Amino acid sequence: MSKQDALPISISGLTKSYGSLFALDHVDLEVKSGEFLTLLGPSGSGKTTLLMALAGFTRPDHGSIRFGDEEIVTMPPHKRGVGMVFQNYALFPHMSVAANVAYPLKLRKVPKAEAAGLVERALETVQLGGYGERRIGQLSGGQKQRVALARAIVFSPRILLMDEPLSALDKNLREQMQIELRHLHEKLGMTTVYVTHDQREALTMSDRIAVINHGRLMQLDAPRRIYERPANRFIAEFIGESTFLKLERKGGRLNFAGVELEVDEVPEGRNLSLVVRPERLTILDGTDAGKTNIFPGTVKDLVYQGDTTLAYVTLADGTDIAVRAGMRSEAAIEKVKVGERVALGLKSADVVLIPDEER
């Protein structure tokens, strides 16, 4: 299982409908060779349908899927040669750990001695060396997860698919496994398509994230771009916390509640909203710092959350906006009280504008 030639995946016009409902609506997506790409979306968004179409378990209505140069959309699942980790692991309960991991090798008629070596190495890769003789029923959730992973990589597939593999684990183990999966991907280098509805997981692990909703690809970008420059309201709401402030356009400038906005550039066209992340706002203590937008308001609520403090501030137009600040860095938030008037600052570089949508 050394680093190998990974395959790019090329999806175009892929469509799957159930009655009048589109699970996949003309999806075009290029997964680069060796990339860790996450399909992120709420349940029912079509992300799992897309993964199942890649594995061959869902037959699309039309469209094309290519692994490298090969069109595989009509190929049965057992000939696709992709590794897959299922959400509930799907380990065969009547086989030992070693037999589970050896199963794909047995089907590929790998000689027994060679297979045994590969199995042991795969188990060592997932830190379960020596667990071969265990029964599946004797394993903990985290161990099952690792065995499922070992089984999916033991035959050195050039593409690895994962369907919410960490969703059944508790929080600490999940975070640990995220890092491990990330390292494993760096080591093995196979093209990986990972499905999750957990935005933090997607941000932690991915080279790129494809945000999917209503069967459509909403944005395909690096995690930082997805978080800091969301393309539309859905993404801004789904990933992280956001408040939306409706802007007025006045002769090439943008206004909020009568106050002009400092913006690096004003996009053309439609009506715009300002996306504000709670951690990008600061409570100003009088010393105004250059190109900063100032929003006056009244503190409505203060919530202590351990690592941060959250303040809800009511702005001039009645919108409640959240401000988050770490304990030590921001002395200002420690001093404010409910009912006090404050000024919130947002740097012009942190201004994110999205087109207004009819809702």
Partner 1 sequence: MAGTASGAGARANEALLNRQDWQERWALLGLASPAVLTVLIVMVIPVGWLFYLSFLSDDGNFSLEHYDRMLESKAYARIFWTTFKVSFLTTGICILLGYPLAYFLSQLPKRAAALCMLTVLLPFWTSLLVRTYAWLVLLQSKGLINEWGISLGLWEEQLALVHNLTGTLIGMVHIMLPFLVLPLYGSMKAISEDYLKASSNLGAGPVQTFWNIFFPLSLPGLFAGALIVFVLCLGFFVTPAVLGGGKVIMVSNQITNNIELFFNWGAASALGVVLLAITLGILFAATRLLNLNRILGAGH
Q: How far is CA 123 from CA 75, 146, 156, in A?
A: 30, 8, 13
User: What one-letter code names the amino acid at 236?
Assistant: A
CB of 67 to partner 1, least distance (A): 14
H-assigned helices in the chain: 47-55, 97-107, 112-125, 141-153, 171-188, 199-205, 223-228, 233-238, 331-335
Closer residue to partner 1 (CB): 154 or 211: 154
Residue of 105, 96, 187, 78 lying closest to 147 (CA atoms): 96
Closer residue to partner 1 (CB): 137 or 252: 137
Helix axes 141-153, 97-107, angle to 10 degrees: 20
Closer residue to partner 1 (CB): 104 or 278: 104
Answer for the pair 29, 200: CB distance below 8 angstroms, yes or no: no
CB of 151 to partner 1, least distance (A): 7
Closer residue to partner 1 (CB): 79 or 171: 79
Closer residue to partner 1 (CB): 56 or 230: 56
Two tokens at 346? 């947002």
Two tokens at 178? 């995220």
Question: CB under 8 Å to 63, separation ≥6 — which residues?
Answer: 11, 12, 13, 14, 15, 24, 26, 27, 73
CB of 80 to partner 1, least distance (A): 8
Handedness of CA 105, 4, 208, 60 (dihedral sign): negative
Closer residue to partner 1 (CB): 101 or 217: 101
CB of 196 to partner 1, least distance (A): 18
Closer residue to partner 1 (CB): 49 or 213: 49
Q: How far is CA 181 from CA 138, 167, 186, 238, 353, in A?
A: 23, 14, 9, 24, 34
CB of 323 to partner 1, least distance (A): 43
Closer residue to partner 1 (CB): 76 or 269: 76
Question: CB under 8 Å to 243, separation ≥6 — which residues?
Answer: 275, 276, 278, 319, 320, 321, 322
CB of 71 to partner 1, least distance (A): 19
DSSP-assigned beta bridge partners for residue 196: 40
Handedness of CA 90, 5, 198, 12 (dihedral sign): negative
Task: Count the alpha carbons within 13 Å of 330 in the hemisphere toward its beta carbon.
Answer: 24
CB of 45 to partner 1, least distance (A): 21
Q: Which residues bind partner 1 (CB under 8 A)?
A: 55-57, 76-84, 86, 88, 90-94, 103-104, 107-108, 135-137, 151, 155
CB of 167 to partner 1, least distance (A): 14
